[in-house]
Structure 1
Amino acid sequence: MRSLIFALLVLAAGSHAADSLQLRLLTEDYPPFNMQTPGKQITGSATDIVRELMLRSGIRYSIELLPWLRAYNRAVLEPGTCVFATTRTDQRESQFKWIGPVGETSWVLFGRSDNPRVLNNLEEARRYRLGGYAGDAVAQYLIARNFDVDLATQDEQNVRKLLAGRIDYWATGKHSGFLLLAREKVSNIRPVLTFNTTFLYLACNIGMSDQLASQLNDTLRKMQKDGTVAKINARYLPD
């Protein structure tokens, strides 16, 4: 009898812990993975995947869209906080518990259409001035390799700098780059070189338990296996 009562108490305590768990999920405007509609709803392929992941895991959550560096730094410093969609790099590896991937993207150099120059590889871009934005993994990758990178606080600023001739190429994600050009109604900028492919993750504060991180990754793998992730991506990502 005592054993039965003890088991019921343990189950009740575990259920209460799950019910009381809430994560703060932070993101940025990075279409098509995460973005805000005119009605202020936060959506996107990675956002929908993360929402479904939280639902299946029984975790209460809030989602807030912030400038990237603020979102990133809060996830590093504040327990119970995660940021997405985040490129997993060696520099960032020890700062988070990683859930994913929740997306995949290619890194591209965009140039003006009236620029006849051909780049065969990234090394050939070393002599030129590249545009990136502060805190972004693409810019960090290039800076670490001693490229000349002119940083902006928002990626759309690089579109204007490229058109004005203040930078020679704009380094950004493929999908987000094309969508940003469409949003800005710019047609005279084209992709010049694809130089990397990366996966994107939900990056959670290092204080998250290994057990919860493992549970979330297991649930995400089930979502990938049953076709849920593919169906969500099909709504946002071009073929």
Structure 2
Amino acid sequence: MHCIRTTGAVLLTLLAFSVSSKEKITKLSSAVGNFPPYVFCDDQQVRGIAVDLIQAIFGQQGVSVQFKCYPWARVYGLTREAVFDITLPYVRNEQREFDFHFVGPIIQNRVVLFHHKDRKFPELMSDISLEKLKKYKIGANLGYRYGKMMDDFDARYGLQWAKTSSQNYRKLILGRTDLYVSPYIVGHYERMQLPENEAKEITSLPDPIQTTDSFIIISKKHPRYPEISRLFLEGITKIKMTELIEKLSAKYQLPTPSAPGDSSGSK
């Protein structure tokens, strides 16, 4: 019975590939999780800056991308087993590099520290370091990674984890934490979902603690990774990335994130 189940699971995985090894790729599947404003998973069609960006890039190659939403842990597992062709947006780390090929980058993220506007942090206006941060309570969202500095901070001093951005903003307003770490675009979007009087109480430090690139990832088990990667890299050369990202940012009423290779960051 175990052999029958195993064989069935393998066949199901093979049938789930949206591309056949003998056919030209015209359609890709992507598992994603809710990550506004990059990915919106709600009652409407899956959308967001990252979703629209990927559709535009592959569209240049005559390839459509069909998105389906799951919890992020399941997104990772399904894509790792090549049930779905791609997922996004992901930053690099050692575990992910063991399981996936990284293709891109697609968007550059500025990781910043938000705070109550009445708090002043003169020592953090430049050259932010662990030594300068160690005396502060820093909020963070469960399930997120913010780069090496915050990994080290968490290991040494402990981040103040919460389930949502709104909970972290409430802690700032109540004075239970000093700072809240988030990608700027994500933090800005979530701040604007607060009641207007609360949103006005939140600002961010001017300099990022880290700038990271986000990528498409493809399982190392996927038999057509080279073709999918080539389609993406050829497609991205056919569009003006900076202009496209500016257009999508205006569509979603957001500040403009950086295109790959643009070091200017968001303002």
TM-score (norm 1): 0.78
The structure that is strand-richer by fraction is 1
CA deviation map 1:73-101 (0-9, x unaligned): 43334532432111123442222121211
Aligned amino acid, residue 145 of structure 2: A
For structure 1, the 5+ residue unaligned runs are 1-12
Query: Shift of residue 50 of structure 1?
Result: 0.9
Aligned amino acid, residue 176 of structure 1: V
| C-alpha distance in structure 2 between counterparts of 1:25 and 1:191, whole Å | 32
CA change 1:36–1:232 in 2 (3 A) is: farther
Name the counterpart of 1:23: 29
Query: Shift of residue 110 of structure 1?
Result: 0.7
| C-alpha distance in structure 1 between counterparts of 2:121 and 2:93, whole Å | 31
Task: Tell me whether 1:202 sits opposite 2:212 in the alignment.
Answer: no
| C-alpha distance in structure 1 between counterparts of 2:86 and 2:21, whole Å | 22
Name the counterpart of 1:115: 119
Name the counterpart of 1:218: 233
Name the counterpart of 1:142: 150
Q: Percent identity of the aligned residues?
A: 19
| C-alpha distance in structure 2 between counterparts of 1:52 and 1:203, whole Å | 17
How do 1:9-158 residues align onto structure 2 when only pairs under 5 Å count? Answer: 16=23, 18=25, 22-31=28-37, 33-35=38-40, 40-118=44-122, 119=124, 120=126, 121-123=128-130, 124-138=132-146, 142-145=150-153, 146=155, 147-158=157-168
The answer to whether the 8 Å contact 1:97/1:213 transfers is no
Secondary structure (helix, strand or coil) at the match of 1:80 reads coil
Secondary structure (helix, strand or coil) at the match of 1:116 reads coil
For structure 2, the 5+ residue unaligned runs are 1-19, 257-267
CA change 1:49–1:84 in 2 (3 A) is: same
The answer to whether the 8 Å contact 1:69/1:135 transfers is no
Secondary structure (helix, strand or coil) at the match of 1:162 reads helix
Aligned amino acid, residue 134 of structure 2: R
Aligned amino acid, residue 49 of structure 1: L
| C-alpha distance in structure 2 between counterparts of 1:46 and 1:195, whole Å | 22
Name the counterpart of 1:5: none
Aligned amino acid, residue 255 of structure 2: P
TM-score (norm 2): 0.71
| C-alpha distance in structure 1 between counterparts of 2:71 and 2:167, whole Å | 14
The answer to whether the 8 Å contact 1:101/1:199 transfers is yes
CA change 1:210–1:73 in 2 (3 A) is: closer
CA deviation map 1:20-69 (0-9, x unaligned): x64233132232x22357x6133222211111233334445421344434
Aligned amino acid, residue 173 of structure 2: L
Secondary structure (helix, strand or coil) at the match of 1:114 reads coil
Query: Shift of residue 17 of structure 1?
Result: 5.5
CA change 1:81–1:57 in 2 (3 A) is: same
Count of residue correspondences: 221
